[in-house]
């Protein structure tokens, strides 16, 4: 459940306040961008990377976007302080307000900034995945954008829950593995770790980006490679990554013979947690 207050542009408002209108076209049409941040010790973890991804997606989708990252950071930190939530999950949305005949006559801003916080979720010790064919259209120029229109992902996620699973593996139009609805996927073969490339239709997750470019563990190499379900079935381990989950092992994939691993993913999880601690420590000191 949301915490007591939300950020709406430059104002802190009650989470139950009526602050949006039908005339904001992005609200009803999903025209906008968003990201989900981890708040740790009052610090917005990897804020710079979330900012860069949102800005890139906003430009592609013609969504007006705040020009100064520090303008946004300051307001998000104010929300954290007022909600008293140094450990939390934060959702940040930028909603386009104009652009169709249904735009409201009294809309003065090109976009609305909306941010909210909630508690950290307990995702369990592992995940069980079902499979959705044609869940991503990799050839689309918008395949890698984190757009507000999230209904398909939510529907697949809830359907998986109804079937007794935790998440889904989304395949693209070439029957390649793309991602989960809100997580990237990795497969381990010995000391080689692979994740689908962006042209498979997956989102450039921030945790994925850090694992590929920042996390260094002796003897383990992480890189991109196109994969199929057969590749997942032959892997030594499979895990998923996201801002809210960190790194979580896969215990089962529907229809595949999966042997849960226990060697590489715990090592990477420890390395990732160490990276978070260093990041937070450096910002507290500065």
Task: For 189-198, write each residue's pLDDT tens digit.
Answer: 999 999 999 9
What local confidence, expressed as pLDDT, does residue 164 receive?
96
Q: Where are the domains of the chain?
A: 5-118, 127-276
One digit per residue, the tens of pLDDT, for the chain of length 286 reads 999 999 999 999 999 999 888 889 899 899 999 999 999 999 999 999 999 999 999 999 999 999 999 999 999 999 999 999 999 999 999 999 998 888 888 788 999 999 999 999 999 999 999 999 999 999 999 999 999 999 999 999 999 999 999 999 999 999 999 999 999 999 999 999 999 999 999 999 999 999 999 999 999 999 999 999 999 999 999 999 999 999 999 999 999 998 777 789 999 999 999 999 999 998 875 5
Domain 5-118, CATH 3.30.470.10 — does that match? Answer: yes
The gap from C-alpha 98 to its chain's centroid, in whole angstroms, comes to 26
With contact defined as beta carbons under 8 Å apart, do 135 and 178 qualify?
yes
Interatomic CA distance for residues 42 and 60, integer angstroms: 31
Asked whether this chain's domains 5-118 and 127-276 adopt the same fold, the reply is: no
**pLDDT tens digits for range 142-170:** 999 999 999 999 999 999 999 999 999 99
Return the CATH number of 127-276, one of 3.20.10.10, 2.40.10.120, 3.10.28.10, 3.40.190.80. Answer: 3.20.10.10
With contact defined as beta carbons under 8 Å apart, do 185 and 238 qualify?
yes
What local confidence, expressed as pLDDT, does residue 285 receive?
57
What local confidence, expressed as pLDDT, does residue 286 receive?
52
What local confidence, expressed as pLDDT, does residue 97 receive?
93
């Amino acid at each position: 459940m949301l915490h007591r207050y939300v950020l709406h542009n430059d104002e802190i408002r009650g989470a139950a306040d009526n602050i949006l209108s039908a005339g904001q076209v992005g609200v009803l049409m999903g025209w906008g961008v968003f990201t989900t941040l981890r708040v740790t010790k009052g610090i917005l973890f990897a804020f710079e990377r979330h900012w860069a991804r949102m800005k890139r997606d906003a430009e592609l989708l013609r969504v007006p976007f705040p020009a100064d990252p520090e303008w946004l950071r300051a307001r998000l930190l104010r929300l954290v302080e007022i909600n008293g939530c140094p450990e939390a999950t934060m959702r940040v949305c930028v909603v386009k307000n104009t652009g169709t005949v249904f735009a409201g006559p009294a809309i003065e801003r090109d976009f609305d900034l909306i941010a909210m916080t909630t508690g950290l979720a307990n995702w369990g010790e592992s995940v069980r995945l079902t499979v959705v064919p044609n869940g991503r259209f990799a050839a689309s120029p918008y395949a890698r954008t984190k757009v507000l229109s999230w209904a398909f992902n939510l529907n697949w996620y809830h359907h998986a829950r109804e079937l007794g699973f935790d998440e889904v593996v989304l395949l693209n139009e070439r029957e390649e593995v793309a991602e989960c609805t809100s997580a990237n996927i990795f497969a381990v073969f010995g000391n080689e770790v692979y994740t689908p490339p962006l042209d498979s239709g997956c989102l450039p997750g921030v945790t994925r980006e850090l694992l590929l470019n920042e996390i260094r563990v002796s003897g383990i190499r992480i890189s991109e490679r196109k994969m199929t379900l057969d590749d997942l079935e032959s892997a030594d381990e499979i895990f998923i990554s996201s801002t809210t989950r960190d790194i979580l092992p896969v215990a089962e994939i529907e229809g595949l013979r999966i042997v849960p691993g226990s060697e590489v993913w715990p090592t990477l999880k420890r390395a990732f947690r160490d990276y978070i601690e260093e990041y937070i420590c450096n910002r507290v000191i500065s």
